[in-house]
Chains A and B, each alone.
Chain A
């Protein structure tokens, strides 16, 4: 094959795959903004003839949607904070110290990743009812933290490993305590990566549906809310909800794209 032909083949493959990702999103956007009329139009048009902001507004005004969206964001924010607060120190310990039990801890963390974790929400309903966490954002956030914590710990471990130990030692020599050295030297260098890990925890929580539906009745996250009302909602509401769920993820993935590869425990070093 000539070089030119090879490029054509390559690029048409790349473009096809891009369309494969983007077109379905475009189509649900059409559904979301098309309202009743759009859903029942036959045959369908690929151009946004029916699109109006009005249909999205009616969906947002439906009882419970606003509250669920707020709840979802609250749960995701709590998850983000908790998983980072618990995971980053553990990651630091894994990166900087060789200690007895480090491998055991690593195994525990990896094991949680290999289990269908959301299913553990079942017995937790009983416990949560007993301690008053059932049907609260904090309760859902706790389960989501169990999902996000392994990522937070492993990602921050690889981040901290990437920061030369000598930088920290130099700070000690020049008068910093351990905490000061961490704050002045390690943290600023790790911050972008930690932010990416935090955003990722947010996405994990925002998208999780099983535990969130099992553990709540009235205080549902947006994802869980949509799951419950799915059966009895008209199609254009479902599409509006689906589009609303996708929107943040596009932004999030854009924000963390530089750190994507550290996320899965296979860092590019």
Chain B
């Protein structure tokens, strides 16, 4: 019986040691890397980061993307989830198709939308057919930030709505049918039922979907890179550039710290704003 008390600790030990080595220690190192210059604590790296021409742009772009993309994804996934509930046949097939992007990398998603948005791409073909444009037009240069933003946002929505969908569908399955049926008997319209029953009960799932999605959205990088190179700067893309092009670990780490701080703040904000009272859940 003595052995069985030690057993759980033996079982989690490898994973714990691993996470300390590859998560906790690098985390501390990143902080050190960002805050140390020439062997002394300093904010030089952050000053360099803020002073860079692309900093303001990348900050703005990243936030804009998160603010536009994440809410759209949640709304879209909710709609899809409710639709799935209404399907009686073909549900599995539809669910499979809708979740295919789950396995698509952001780089691949960027390339997919490049095929659509490039000069001689399908979008331009369509626009030309309707007479909107005369011939091949470049939508992805830094002279057209609006259309570039649109392309990146569409690619992100296309790729990452599936994660939200999966989390929400799992949550929807947990809600007993009887609640909705009870409300229906008392005369609630479908829209009222959705607002008064489904949505409140789905809050925990929405919360975890928002956290996961937002954290990942602040990491957006390869989609953008595939579509436009550095024409549309984003935070993690800048970190990559400082590391690879400028060979400056310190500033790259400063970007990393910034992204982490923003992610953490967003997570906490969601937890506060969507506080779930356990007593109101079934």
Contact = CB atoms under 8 A, between A and B. Distances in A.
Q: Is any CB of A less than 8 Å from a CB of B in the complex?
A: yes
A112 to B, nearest CB: 5
Interface stretch (B47-55, B117-125, B179-187): B117-125
B98 A93 contact: no
Contacts of B260: 115-116, 119
Interface string A46-72: 100000000000000000000000000
B107 A120 contact: no
Interface in B212-237: 212, 215-216, 218-219, 221-222, 225-226, 229, 236
Interface string A105-135: 1001100111111111111111100000000
B20 to A, nearest CB: 8
A12 to B, nearest CB: 11
A92 B11 contact: yes
Contacts of A102: 8
A180 B102 CA distance: 37
Contacts of A145: 18, 22
B37 interface: no
B100 interface: yes
Interface in A192-247: 203, 206-210, 213-214, 223, 226-227, 230-231, 235, 238-239, 241-242, 245-246
Contacts of B69: none
Interface residues of A, number: 95
B211 interface: yes
Interface string B65-104: 0000000000000011001001100001011111111111
A93 B7 contact: yes
Contacts of B128: 43
Interface string B26-40: 110110110000000
A142 to B, nearest CB: 6
Contacts of B201: none
B267 interface: yes
Given A99-B8, A116-B259, A253-B99, A223 B208 contact: no
Contacts of B11: 89-90, 92-93
B139 interface: no
Contacts of A97: 7-8
A118 B26 CA distance: 11
Chain B interface residue number, banded: 35 or more
A69 B22 CA distance: 25
A4 interface: no
A223 B115 contact: no
B23 A146 contact: yes
A131 to B, nearest CB: 11
Given A123-B253, A149-B18, A25 B167 contact: no
Nearest to B135: A42
Given A28-B111, A41-B120, A261 B99 contact: no
A22 interface: yes
Contact of A253 (B103, B170, B204, B226): B103
A249 interface: yes
B136 interface: yes
A108 B102 CA distance: 25
B107 A117 contact: no
A114 B264 contact: yes
Contacts of A260: 95, 99, 102, 166
Nearest to A42: B120
B208 A142 contact: no
B148 interface: no
Nearest to A41: B120
B59 interface: no
A21 to B, nearest CB: 6
A123 B133 CA distance: 48
Contacts of B129: 43
A256 B31 CA distance: 38
21 contacts: A17-B83, A31-B115, A42-B136, A43-B124, A90-B14, A93-B11, A97-B7, A99-B5, A99-B9, A113-B212, A115-B263, A116-B260, A119-B239, A149-B15, A209-B107, A210-B219, A235-B114, A242-B112, A242-B115, A245-B111, A261-B173
Given A239-B115, A245-B105, 16 more contacts: A14-B87, A17-B80, A17-B98, A31-B115, A41-B120, A42-B120, A93-B7, A120-B23, A123-B32, A123-B249, A125-B249, A149-B18, A207-B104, A213-B244, A246-B112, A260-B166
Q: Which 9 A-B pairs have the closest CB atoms?
A: A249-B103, A242-B111, A207-B105, A123-B29, A93-B11, A245-B108, A97-B8, A120-B26, A93-B8
